[in-house]
Amino acid sequence: MSGGVISMAVARWILACGLLLCSSSFLGAEGAIGVNYGMLGNNLPSPAQVISMYKAKNINYVRLFHPDTTVLAALRNSGIGVVLGTYNEDLARMASDPSFAASWVSSYVQPFAGAVSFRYINAGNEVIPGEPAANVLPAMRNLDAALKSAGISGIPVTTAVATSVLGVSYPPSQGAFSEAASPYMAPIVTYLASKGAPLLVNVYPYFAYAADAERVQLGYALLSASQSASVTDGGVTYTNMFDAIVDAAHAAVEKATGGQAVELVVSETGWPSGGGGVGATVENAAAYNNNLIRHVSGGAGTPRRPGKEVETYLFAMFNENQKPEGVEQHFGLFQPDMTEVYHVDFAASS
């Protein structure tokens, strides 16, 4: 999670939208909806209870930030699609030591591969740009090689990035990676294109709204249906920030790959229900997540990718009391006692 730090790219988009009185209605895509399963809490239910909740609530996809054999065991034969992450602190060794990547695969993937539906493995979360960024692509290559050596096919290896990788995002068609991120992102997305693997992107309209709530319409950030203004970019119309950020990332990828397409998966998005932040209320969080599900389940895609599904993972399953104080402790859909913070209709995504 981006931790509330808003990228310059999103800041520029806020300014542009604020001047144009941007507004929102999330258009829709026939994508899968999942939920991030964070574990930074000392009062959370057992993994078996959590996976039972996923099934009972019709949540068919889960993202794990790090490997946990107890959780993976609970996921056996569940039919739930799994995005499995590595620890950021393991990237350096994973990049430099192929045997470590092989050991990781033999510990966390091979024993579960027949019974757990792995969708992707992501090497690192939000480390680009930054000191560990140089380790990401070598780690991805070593993990991919380790999977092949283990006889495991069909699990793409990728990474998850924040929107801070974008240096330009307005208008969306001009999206481009920043000077700091481009030396890492260009070879990564070219590699992903060669493998037919997606890039995972964490997209948070909330932080954009909270940074300039006086000029960014709340409905634009919440995917409200009734808005009066929009932004036109090259003949297409944007009526919500989510679509605009996703399409700016599409444009950046296309520039970096010379036009090769790479699918984007929104690996995190959400809205806090408390914690004292601007707009952090139960009502707004419920509106955002339910509007998002209807959007992603609608089949229209984004203006740059009409009709193309957007696989999307909400952040997060629980309020986690070991995250930093403030809004970060209030992104959960459920309390640790498994009661709803607010109702989310996952049936709409089925």
Q: Is the pLDDT of residue 52 over 80?
A: yes
DSSP 56-67: HTT--EEEESS-
The answer to the question of residue 129 being in a domain is yes
DSSP 264-304: EEEEEE---S-SS-TT--HHHHHHHHHHHHHHHTTS-EETT
The total number of structural domains in the chain stands at 1
Q: Is the separation of the CB atoms in 288 and 222 below 8 Å?
A: yes
Q: What pLDDT does residue 23 have? A: 30
Q: What pLDDT does residue 18 have? A: 37
The answer to the question of residue 225 being in a domain is yes
Q: Is the separation of the CB atoms in 261 and 193 below 8 Å?
A: yes
For the chain, report the end-to-end CA distance as a whole number of angstroms. Answer: 26
Q: Is 30 a catalytic site residue?
A: no
Q: What pLDDT does residue 200 have? A: 98
Alpha helices, DSSP H, located in the chain: 8-19, 47-56, 69-74, 91-96, 98-108, 136-149, 182-195, 205-211, 218-222, 241-257, 282-296
The answer to the question of residue 339 being in a domain is no
Catalytic residue, candidates 254, 268, 311, 320: 268
Q: What pLDDT does residue 300 have? A: 81
Q: What pLDDT does residue 250 have? A: 97
pTM comes to: 0.92
b/e burial code for range 179-213 (CB count within 10 A of at least 16 → b): eebbebbbebbbbbbeeebbbbbbbbbbbbbbbbb
Q: Is the pLDDT of residue 243 over 60?
A: yes
- 144-168 confidence digits (pLDDT tens): 999 999 999 999 999 999 999 999 9
- 199-237 confidence digits (pLDDT tens): 999 999 999 999 999 988 899 899 997 665 577 898 898
- 63-79 confidence digits (pLDDT tens): 999 999 999 999 999 99
Q: What pLDDT does residue 229 have? A: 57
The DSSP output letter for 333 is S
Q: Rounded to whole angstroms, how far apart are CA atoms 85 and 120? A: 8
User: 């490997």: which residue's tokens?
Assistant: 67
Residue 212 lies in domain: 33-334
**Token code pair at residue 65:** 């930030």
Q: Is the pLDDT of residue 86 over 70?
A: yes
Q: Name the β-bridge partners of 166.
A: 177
Q: Is the separation of the CB atoms in 50 and 37 below 8 Å?
A: yes
Secondary structure of residue 331 in the 3-state scheme: coil
Q: Is the separation of the CB atoms in 10 and 163 below 8 Å?
A: yes
- 317-334 confidence digits (pLDDT tens): 999 999 999 999 999 999
Q: What pLDDT does residue 241 have? A: 92
Q: Rounded to whole angstroms, how far apart are CA atoms 271 and 223? A: 12
The answer to the question of residue 12 being in a domain is no
**Token code pair at residue 207:** 């932080």
What CATH number is given to the structural domain containing 46?
3.20.20.80
b/e burial code for range 253-268 (CB count within 10 A of at least 16 → b): bbbbbeeeebbbbbbb
**Token code pair at residue 236:** 């297409």
Q: What pLDDT does residue 21 have? A: 34
Which is more confidently placed, 310 or 18? 310
Q: Give the whole-number percent of the chain exceeding pLDDT 70.
A: 90
Q: What pLDDT does residue 4 have? A: 38
CA dihedral 133, 137, 142, 148 (to 10 degrees): 140
The answer to the question of residue 342 being in a domain is no
Q: Rounded to whole angstroms, how far apart are CA atoms 342 and 280? A: 13
Q: What pLDDT does residue 2 have? A: 46
Q: What pLDDT does residue 19 have? A: 33
Q: Is 268 a catalytic site residue?
A: yes
Among residues 327, 310, 166, 317, the alpha carbon closest in space to that of 242 is found at 310
**Token code pair at residue 134:** 């140089």
Q: How confident is the model at residue 3 (pLDDT cuts 50, 70, 90)?
A: very low
Secondary structure of residue 324 in the 3-state scheme: coil
- 266-303 confidence digits (pLDDT tens): 999 999 999 999 999 999 999 999 999 998 888 889 99
Q: Is the pLDDT of residue 22 over 50?
A: no
The answer to the question of residue 24 being in a domain is no
* Least confident interval from 36-40, 49-53, 304-308: 304-308
Q: What pLDDT does residue 227 have? A: 63
The answer to the question of residue 340 being in a domain is no
The answer to the question of residue 5 being in a domain is no
The DSSP output letter for 306 is E
